[in-house]
Amino acid sequence: MKVRISADGSIMLDYHTYEFDWLSIIPLNAIIDGKEYIDKSDIVQKDLFPYIYKGINLKTSAASYGRIVEYFKDIFALGYDQIIHFSMSSKLSSMYSTISNISHELFQDRIIVIDTFGFSSVMLSMAYYTHLQLEKGIELIEFEEDLDEIKQKSKLFFIPGGLDALQKGGRIDSSEINLNQNLNILPVINLEDGGLVRSGITRTPLNTYKTIINKYLDLYPISEYDYSVISFVDKKDLLNNIVNHMNDKIGINNYIQGIMSINLSVHCGLGTIGVMVTPKLKDFSLINLYRK
């Protein structure tokens, strides 16, 4: 059986992710001043900066029903019998439910939709692991538990550059945003069970990043976990300090540095930096994908 691996655009760690020959990606959208732009084809992350500087309203939306249907039709037209699609967490996006319905209603359930309970590195780790197993002739049913292990063991924290984007996206309420802005406080946000949860607050982001990274390294050693740093920044001072700390702790070639997809960038806001860890399984490591 000929199987294609697919994902929505939240999987990207950089725009090179779109170039992996084993992976198809349906880009997500940004809505800028009422006009829809598709990630990569119409806009890239750095193009958002001028709109944010001007205070123009940014939103996101899932890919349209019609665009999703045509995307999958095009894949099946290439002779594939089945598609395994990795979706951003269903608690953060409607893509999982939409594609599940499309698979059932239009494609006789030939699209297997997997809720990754994450995004970025979590999605890419699960997709790449699947690619390697399929290359060995191993069927999905034989390694589903491994994918579940990646999902359950993956960790993420980030500190947004501000609170406006999170508030507009419904991730933080207005009373909290007013209090935090007055006190010059930023939330520390974790990914837990597929949702975003505030785990703390900080007035000194760099110190907090260093403290949590050090804690992560104790709990999730690089012998057992891969690390990624993803960001949506225009001013690089904080990011450079975090990168220098990572270099000192685990070495420049032992983690992945990437950017956030358009939808994550708009939701989290300018200045956001996240640190993700995903488990290594057996002889599998996400880092190897970037060492080729």
**pLDDT recorded at residue 152:** 95
CATH number at residue 107: 3.40.50.10170
120: helix, strand or coil: coil
Domain end, chosen from 152, 168, 183, is at: 152
In this prediction, residue 76 has a pLDDT band, given cuts at 50, 70 and 90, of very high
Residue 3 predicted with pLDDT over 50: yes
Same domain? For 36 and 100 the reply is yes
Q: What is the per-residue pLDDT across 190-216, written as a single tens digit (0 to 9) for each?
A: 999 999 888 999 999 999 999 999 999
Please provide the size of the chain in residues: 292
Together in a domain, 148 and 60 = yes
Q: In percent, how much of the chain has pLDDT > 70?
A: 92
- The pLDDT, as a whole number, for residue 179 is 47
Residues 147, 159 share a domain: no
Using left for φ > 0, alpha for ψ between -120 and 50, and beta otherwise, residue 55 falls in left
* Domains: count for the chain: 2
Instruction: Identify the domain containing residue 242 by its residue range.
Output: 155-291
- pLDDT at site 38: 92
Q: Which two tokens stand for residue 224?
A: 């057992």
H helices of the chain, in order, are: 48-53, 65-76, 95-106, 121-135, 140-153, 164-168, 174-182, 205-219, 237-250, 262-268, 287-291
Last-in-domain residue among 127, 152, 177: 152
Predicted pLDDT of residue 211: 97
